[in-house]
Amino acid sequence: MVGKVDVIYLPTDNVIVAGMSTVAMIANDNKIPTICGEAGMVEAGGLATYGIDYYQLGYLAGEQAIDILVNGADIASMPIGYLPAEKCELTVNKTAAEVLGIDISGLEGAVIVE
């Protein structure tokens, strides 16, 4: 992809996650920003994600479990649970941003990782 793309989007995928440090190294060395599917990929060298907060997702799952186990909710008729956008978080890799020449100083409220 080097020389053929301006940005790479990397969805959450076990194969990509397993090789994320290599993908990030090649992309960053070639000044190609990587937008990731989740924060762990950013921690492995990707530039940024606006994604789910796994703690919040676990909390939602716990609420659903209580509804089923304690309140006797019918699983077949339960609505699909999801995290609203305000429960998602922006995570940015400071080192990747510096390598790419991207100023992240104005990102208030973002989770910044090294």
pLDDT tens profile 29-64: 999 999 999 999 999 999 999 988 888 889 999 999
Where do the domains of the chain lie? Answer: 8-113
Determine the average pLDDT of the residues in 7-35. Answer: 95
Residue 16 phi, psi (nearest 5): -65, -45
Confidence of residue 93 (pLDDT cuts 50, 70, 90): very high
Higher pLDDT, 96 or 56: 96
The Cα–Cα gap between 31 and 97 comes to 10
End-to-end CA distance of the chain: 25
77 pLDDT exceeds 90? yes
103 pLDDT exceeds 90? yes
111 pLDDT exceeds 90? yes
For residue 105, give the amino acid letter: S
Query: What tokens does 18 get?
Result: 């397993």
